[in-house]
Structure 1
Amino acid sequence: MGIPGLTTFIENRADLYMDDCKLHDTNLVIDGNSLACQIYQQCGSNMCFGGDYDKYGNILMMFFEALFKCKITPYIVFDGGYETRKMKTIIVRMKNRIQAAEKMSKMYNHHASVFPLFIRETLRDIGLKWEVNMVQCDFEGDTDIANIARRLGCPVLSYDSDFYIFDGLYIPFSRLDMTVRRNVDLTTKMQYNFLNCKIYNVDKFLCSYGRVDKSNLPLLAVLLGNDYVKRSTFSMFYQNLKTQSCHGRHKSESQNRIKSVLVWLENETRESAIIKVLGRYKKEKRQRILDNINNAIKGYNCFDSIYLKYLGISPPDVKSKEECIDFDKLGDIEEPSEPEEDNEKHSESDCDQEIIFPEDQEDSTLPTVFKENFRKCLYPPCFMDIFFRHKYYCIAQVEEVSAENAYIVSFDIIAAIFKILTGLCEGLSCVGRVGSKVGKMDVPTYHDPLPTLEEIETMDSEERLKVFFKILKLDYSFKTHLSSFPYSWHLYILAIKYAIDRSKLSWPLIYALIVSKIILSCIDYRTGFIRSVATFMKKHAAKLSMPLENRDMAIDPKDVSDCLNQLSTMDAIHCMNSLLQYFQKDQKVASSSKFFDRRSVHSISEFQSILLHLKYLNNLLKQPFHDFSVSSCLNCTFVYNFTANLSKRTNIETYLDGLLCKAPTVLNTLHVIINSIKEFSCVTVENTNPPPKKRKKKKKSTSTVIPDEHSNNDSEGEPWVDSNNKFSLLKS
């Protein structure tokens, strides 16, 4: 949810409404969706290439480490599926993100936020490593987050303006300093760690406006508008409201509106305020408006949650009281003195109108297996939308607008997931980018028989593995190709196999994906997690200047696990010395969009779609393969830059032999993995890029031939140069 302008209003007066706090030895309820977005923005990663999950994962690890050093026990609560009453808002946001993604692909430095696909998954995976208590709500989670925090008597950490309305302790994420500090308890003389933060004080906020009654807080939220009730619903109320002005830099229409409503509420009880609001409208509209107000009161004043048991928390002793306002008990309501204007209508494109679906049966009984796994965060939130609405809402990515949506390559996997969840062969629609707009895409029918959720629970791992291969249309013998890889690589290699078969990945991209995985899962453990060239040289310059040793490698050329285990620390250092530059932003691409290869980014987006839905399918089938964290697989800035470099090499292997000559164990591992991929590729592919075409002689005409901007050779050059390599996956 969200109340427009309220966060800015409070932040501009933080010294008045917030108290300094040393956070330690306490519970902390965390809004998981908000945390994922805020942490990713803090890690300084690029969004235009698809996500730097290694940097994001590293910041998350530091965040949880800081909490536990200060003896802060986190409870993470995620949102679930979309609520029907929010559908219009969801579609509008999807449209805005698609537009932001399109601009981002044209302007490298565009500041809009297009969050990567895996940010929630990464938070969940790292939370599991730290054994954090986590739960996923069936739908919107704000009310339950507030209720759980009330039950524990602890603050909420989020960045959602609704928590200014809930009567509880609230720490805005922008007001938390993650630097661990030490202090001494004056009573016990014992040292303790703490985090500096500011906690919102609702009593100070209300006292600033003549002690507004707390019971009026939900009414304040409704009148200002949120994702459920549009402010235009109360246009007649605002026409008769005396306008108050904020001063100085705080002055704006939205800020003035908030102050005006607060000043008006100073001398009103909840009932008197509701009577005056309803008095601005005709009788036939009053009950509907009161229903909106009652829904808000119920949401903001609830003190119980069905999710407490999933966090190991006992329920409260006192149940929530029903505080709805009865229309018949409000008394006489005056008739409006002015004719009522209808300002509730707003324009929508025909495409958007098709996306707004009718009411769904959200009160249907959830299957026990589904409910338990969903709430334990074993299923992604999209499963609730698939189950209830037979709709799948695609998260916007940076893509080639003229190409098909990057999710389409995964439709066979999504269709199988739909059949397992619902038992239906057809009827699933995906809502997402169609061209540059929001549209619906029908998912193909899945005809083959698949087990139900209940049957999956009784199947052994071998049977579930066979189902997995069946859905991917792979022979069960493919298992032998995976046997030489570590378990944590299996889904990643399957994603590459699937992408080769369905989207015909280019070899430069395949190499980049494999090198990214080697660095993030193995090299970083040997060199330390470093992405700054200056920091790397400060730590490893002395070792880089040491003479190279002669190393005789006795490694089975077919066993990837052995190769990875025998990577030497010195080779890891030399490898990162050669490749660290590809993790950095490129100023040439930043200065001109013509150097930004949107086809390459689209290919990366397709691969991420495949990898994400294989992870979903694996979880649905109770993990016949070991799960993985994408933070140990993908840095998309590196993948993009290294792909661009390799795409201009006539022979990739020859080029890599020179680039990694000082890291022979790394080079050997890479060759072993690539040879394994060649073995199971469906088509014969050459590990080379086509030589540049010969220029034709100019004919006497008015037209001119523009030469290729980049030559295709094996020399060292700018690693950022755009690729001439054609990506056959794109369809106009």
Structure 2
Amino acid sequence: MGIHGMMTYVVEHKQFFTDLQLRETKVIIDGNNLYHRLYFDTNLDLRHGGDYDSFTDITNKFFETLTVCDIRPYVVLDGGSDASDKKFTTLKERAQEKILSAYSLSRGGGGSVLPLLIREVFKQILTKLQVPFVQCFSEADREIVSLANHWNCPVLTFDSDFCIFDLKAGYCPLTYFQWKNICTRKESQDCYIPAKCFSLERFCNYFGNMNKTLLPLFAVMIGNDHINLPAMEMFFSKVRLPVGGYGQKGRKHSRIQGLLNWLSRFADPAEAIEDVLKYLKKHKEEETRQLLCASMAEYEPSSVNLEDFFQNGLYETETAKKLELPQWICSALAKGLLAPFISDALVLRRTILHVQVENMQRPSSHVTALPIRQVIYRLLLNASEGSGHTSVRKHSTSPTPLLCEFDRFQKALGKSFVQVAALPGNFCSDQYSPTTLNEVPLAERLLLLLETLQVTASDLETVPGLLQLPMAVTCFWIRYSAPKVKLQHMKALLLGIVFGELHKIIESQEPEALHAEVNKIVYDQFLKWKDRKSQKEVLELDTAHIFCQWQCCLQMALYLNQLLSTPLPEPDLTGLYNGTLVHRLYHELKSASTPENLLSASPKMNQLYCNMVRVVRCVIPAEFFQKKKPKSHKKKKQAAKQVLDKREGATVEVLTSCSINNRFATFMKED
């Protein structure tokens, strides 16, 4: 949720906060808020699809700091959209804002758009660090409040709604949580993190010892992400709000100040509501009263017991029970083993696809991954054909299920209805439903995944298990990407994966290990390429678009793999894609540079690269990357041939150590 203008209003009043020295305590962290702030507040790349390794480093440091101060974090993540759809209008508005922000970034302007896979990366980091986390069924605010009050510990977020909730141990805004400025107490040498805590008591005292039970009514009247009552505009147009001595900074802050002053005169919400209704037309009174009371209930504590989840792994919610969702799906969602995308598709038959910084003149990058999504939808919506789930059964008026997708169309958010396709190969759709999907034999689930991605197990056997899904995705991407993937795109992507593997070796091995010194030299050279970027460098839109399509395919392949209970190992996303480096490597390759030559000094990395190239060779026709010769004058042909021969010679030279045969030599030619 969120109250428009509230956070900026509050932070201007230092008297609402108390100073804290946080240590030796549990803390409940709003996970969605945290990964947004960690990415946006640390100047990470926003234009090239994300630098997940840099984000991982920052996130690791954040949690390491908490450990030093003996702060025990519990992370709570939002889930899918609420089944009641009360926030749908806000979600569409935010999606439209992100599209315009992505367009601005693509043209060299400002904006804030998270990389596509950042949430999955964040969950993997939490798992590796063994930080307890839960993914709620829908929005997490009320469940955060209930757990924090049960444990009597503070909440860490930057959500203005937490100025309304009655928290026993208070709310620490992330902007005032100085985790990079760790301090030591002189008397005990104990470490602590300086922070500020929002005090509900101080806030209410500022407004004449206002009854704090009036605050949910204030939030509903001023407008939050869930409700914006037209009747309230009539109220504000007629009432004279006592603003007091506050120096206004805009109409919104004036309204916040005035409404709080006005409400402070009443003893409780019931009395205040009756006074509000006096300003409305008679026929609107009862409807408005019911809407106000129902909306205020959003600020009541949740009945979900998150302590039971963190102690026993049990997560139960009345909403999921009413929807009759399979227990294994509910459990997987709570553990973060399935994405909110899955619950949105299953419960609402609707998904919103996140925009990336791409070529806005072309169709959305998500179009490329549509065949994968259609298989996901088929598996989920089979529930409408006999499983009895009320969430889906009510929609089943057509023999062919349809699902609504919201995606970018040019620079606007649009919707389309996707016809759910049959499963690939010889798979019979009727045999697969959400209820029993986790019971399907592993071999069948693996085959379904591979056939969806149009590869075979033998195609992937030469690469490590953790890279098999990314390599299957890479082959799928090459087939379906538009504009067409060039050889340099594919090589830059694979070299970026090699860099990620090198990073793991450098971080984990002993200095005297085999080839350690050489690996470090190779790794440092990759870093130099990565750091060579210029902030003023114009983004090559089609190149960005092509790499965005790879991320879309990887995202949906991850979701399908998760839905099938991971027949292929889930890859370590941190090292898979470094947008800044991959774009730089593409430019190096395009300018006739041969960064692959560097790998010859590192036998293990060279072999990995060659094996990944071999996977592509096995799946993609040899002529795919050959450039068609244009009809031109003889001299132009000869000049072009000389340039091409020079670059092809360098390309084939580095690949000879990969045992490339004559057939594949033509495959590697691209200018």
Which band: TM-score by shorter chain? 0.7 to 0.9
Q: Could you tell me how far 1:243 is from its partner in structure 2?
A: 4.8
Q: Deviations over 1:109-168 (max 9, x none)?
A: x22111111111111111111222222222222111111111111111111100010011
The 3-state SS of whatever aligns with 1:384 is: helix
Q: What residue is the counterpart of 1:282 in the other structure? A: 281
1: CA distance, partners of 2:581 / 2:630? 25
Q: What residue is the counterpart of 1:356 in the other structure? A: none
Question: Would you say 1:458 and 2:456 are equivalent positions?
Answer: no
CA contact (8 A) 2:246 2:257 kept: no
The 3-state SS of whatever aligns with 1:64 is: helix
Q: Could you tell me how far 1:244 is from its partner in structure 2?
A: 1.7
Q: What residue is the counterpart of 1:151 in the other structure? A: 150
The 3-state SS of whatever aligns with 1:310 is: helix
The amino acid that maps onto 1:466 is L
Question: Would you say 1:507 and 2:487 are equivalent positions?
Answer: yes
Match of 1:523 among 478, 503, 510: 503
Specify every segment of 5 or more residues in structure 1 that has no aligned partner in the other structure, as ranges: 316-359, 530-542, 544-564, 699-707, 716-732
> Residues 445 and 242 of structure 1: is their aligned pair in 2 closer, same or farther, counting only changes over 3 Å?
closer
Q: What residue is the counterpart of 1:487 in the other structure? A: 465
Q: Could you tell me how far 1:648 is from its partner in structure 2?
A: 3.1
CA contact (8 A) 1:66 1:180 kept: no
Q: What residue is the counterpart of 2:390 in the other structure? A: none
> Residues 230 and 10 of structure 1: is their aligned pair in 2 closer, same or farther, counting only changes over 3 Å?
same
Q: Deviations over 1:265-318 (max 9, x none)?
A: 222122221111111112221222222321233221325324442222899xxx
> Residues 286 and 408 of structure 1: is their aligned pair in 2 closer, same or farther, counting only changes over 3 Å?
same
The amino acid that maps onto 2:11 is E
CA contact (8 A) 2:377 2:420 kept: no
Alpha-carbon RMSD: 3.1
Match of 2:416 among 438, 441, 444: 441
The amino acid that maps onto 1:6 is M
The amino acid that maps onto 1:613 is M
The 3-state SS of whatever aligns with 2:76 is: strand
2: CA distance, partners of 1:446 / 1:691? 38
Q: What residue is the counterpart of 2:654 in the other structure? A: none
2: CA distance, partners of 1:313 / 1:179? 33
Q: Could you tell me how far 1:672 is from its partner in structure 2?
A: 3.9
Question: Would you say 1:2 and 2:25 are equivalent positions?
Answer: no
> Residues 140 and 527 of structure 1: is their aligned pair in 2 closer, same or farther, counting only changes over 3 Å?
closer
The 3-state SS of whatever aligns with 1:75 is: strand
The amino acid that maps onto 1:255 is H
2: CA distance, partners of 1:427 / 1:235? 38
CA contact (8 A) 1:520 1:631 kept: yes
CA contact (8 A) 1:373 1:379 kept: yes
1: CA distance, partners of 2:495 / 2:250? 51
2: CA distance, partners of 1:98 / 1:580? 31
Q: Deviations over 1:86-124 (max 9, x none)?
A: 1111111111111111121111xx221111111111111
2: CA distance, partners of 1:207 / 1:600? 57
Q: What residue is the counterpart of 1:671 in the other structure? A: 610
Q: Could you tell me how far 1:69 is from its partner in structure 2?
A: 2.4
CA contact (8 A) 1:122 1:631 kept: yes
Question: Would you say 1:256 and 2:254 are equivalent positions?
Answer: yes
> Residues 416 and 567 of structure 1: is their aligned pair in 2 closer, same or farther, counting only changes over 3 Å?
farther
> Residues 668 and 367 of structure 1: is their aligned pair in 2 closer, same or farther, counting only changes over 3 Å?
closer
2: CA distance, partners of 1:300 / 1:253? 25
Match of 1:216 among 185, 209, 214: 214
Q: Could you tell me how far 1:7 is from its partner in structure 2?
A: 0.3
> Residues 368 and 601 of structure 1: is their aligned pair in 2 closer, same or farther, counting only changes over 3 Å?
same
Q: Could you tell me how far 1:522 is from its partner in structure 2?
A: 2.3
1: CA distance, partners of 2:222 / 2:441? 54
Q: What residue is the counterpart of 1:470 in the other structure? A: 451
Equivalences for residues 680-691 of structure 1 within 5 A: 680-686=619-625
Q: What residue is the counterpart of 1:12 in the other structure? A: 12
Match of 1:645 among 569, 588, 596: 588
Q: Could you tell me how far 1:585 is from its partner in structure 2?
A: 6.5
Question: Would you say 1:173 and 2:174 are equivalent positions?
Answer: yes
CA contact (8 A) 1:151 1:303 kept: no
Question: Would you say 1:623 and 2:566 are equivalent positions?
Answer: yes
Question: Would you say 1:377 and 2:333 are equivalent positions?
Answer: no
Q: Deviations over 1:590-611 (max 9, x none)?
A: 16xxx32110111111000011
Q: Could you tell me how far 1:470 is from its partner in structure 2?
A: 2.8
The 3-state SS of whatever aligns with 2:190 is: strand
Equivalences for residues 90-169 of structure 1 within 5 A: 90-107=91-108, 110-168=109-167, 169=170
Bigger share in helix = 2
Q: Could you tell me how far 1:666 is from its partner in structure 2?
A: 3.9
> Residues 192 and 58 of structure 1: is their aligned pair in 2 closer, same or farther, counting only changes over 3 Å?
same
CA contact (8 A) 1:70 1:180 kept: no
Match of 2:536 among 572, 590, 607: 590
1: CA distance, partners of 2:160 / 2:364? 33
The 3-state SS of whatever aligns with 1:443 is: strand
Q: What residue is the counterpart of 1:197 in the other structure? A: 195
2: CA distance, partners of 1:391 / 1:368? 21
2: CA distance, partners of 1:519 / 1:314? 37
Q: Could you tell me how far 1:256 is from its partner in structure 2?
A: 1.3
CA contact (8 A) 1:490 1:625 kept: yes
> Residues 367 and 513 of structure 1: is their aligned pair in 2 closer, same or farther, counting only changes over 3 Å?
same
- 4+ runs deviating over 6 angstroms: 688-698
Q: What residue is the counterpart of 1:571 in the other structure? A: 518
1: CA distance, partners of 2:513 / 2:615? 18
> Residues 292 and 308 of structure 1: is their aligned pair in 2 closer, same or farther, counting only changes over 3 Å?
farther
Question: Would you say 1:389 and 2:348 are equivalent positions?
Answer: yes
The 3-state SS of whatever aligns with 2:365 is: coil
- Identify the range of structure 1 (58-67 vs 670-679) with the bigger mean alpha-carbon deviation: 670-679
Q: What residue is the counterpart of 2:401 in the other structure? A: 426
CA contact (8 A) 2:74 2:131 kept: yes
Q: Could you tell me how far 1:43 is from its partner in structure 2?
A: 3.2
CA contact (8 A) 2:502 2:605 kept: no
Q: What residue is the counterpart of 2:368 in the other structure? A: 409
Question: Would you say 1:605 and 2:605 are equivalent positions?
Answer: no
Q: What residue is the counterpart of 2:267 in the other structure? A: 269
> Residues 313 and 74 of structure 1: is their aligned pair in 2 closer, same or farther, counting only changes over 3 Å?
farther
Q: Could you tell me how far 1:665 is from its partner in structure 2?
A: 5.4
CA contact (8 A) 1:415 1:428 kept: no
The amino acid that maps onto 1:407 is H
The amino acid that maps onto 2:299 is Y
> Residues 90 and 566 of structure 1: is their aligned pair in 2 closer, same or farther, counting only changes over 3 Å?
same
> Residues 689 and 647 of structure 1: is their aligned pair in 2 closer, same or farther, counting only changes over 3 Å?
farther
Q: Deviations over 1:381-431 (max 9, x none)?
A: 111210122111101111212222111111111111112122065311211
Q: Deviations over 1:459-495 (max 9, x none)?
A: 3422321221232233xxx212322222211111111
Q: With structure 1 as the length reference, what TM-score do the two structures score? A: 0.77
Specify every segment of 5 or more residues in structure 2 that has no aligned partner in the other structure, as ranges: 385-399, 649-671
2: CA distance, partners of 1:489 / 1:299? 44
The 3-state SS of whatever aligns with 1:447 is: coil
> Residues 262 and 714 of structure 1: is their aligned pair in 2 closer, same or farther, counting only changes over 3 Å?
same
1: CA distance, partners of 2:313 / 2:405? 39
Equivalences for residues 225-264 of structure 1 within 5 A: 225-230=223-228, 232-239=230-237, 240-244=239-243, 251-264=249-262
The 3-state SS of whatever aligns with 2:115 is: coil
1: CA distance, partners of 2:332 / 2:244? 51
CA contact (8 A) 1:37 1:119 kept: no
Paired residues, number: 607
1: CA distance, partners of 2:606 / 2:452? 34
2: CA distance, partners of 1:693 / 1:662? 41
Q: Could you tell me how far 1:629 is from its partner in structure 2?
A: 2.9
The 3-state SS of whatever aligns with 1:590 is: coil
Q: What residue is the counterpart of 2:324 in the other structure? A: 365
Q: With structure 2 as the length reference, what TM-score do the two structures score? A: 0.84
Percent identity, aligned pairs only, is 25
2: CA distance, partners of 1:694 / 1:447? 47
1: CA distance, partners of 2:606 / 2:571? 24
Q: What residue is the counterpart of 2:290 in the other structure? A: 291
Q: Could you tell me how far 1:251 is from its partner in structure 2?
A: 2.3
CA contact (8 A) 2:177 2:193 kept: yes
Q: What residue is the counterpart of 2:657 in the other structure? A: none
The amino acid that maps onto 1:299 is E
> Residues 95 and 363 of structure 1: is their aligned pair in 2 closer, same or farther, counting only changes over 3 Å?
farther
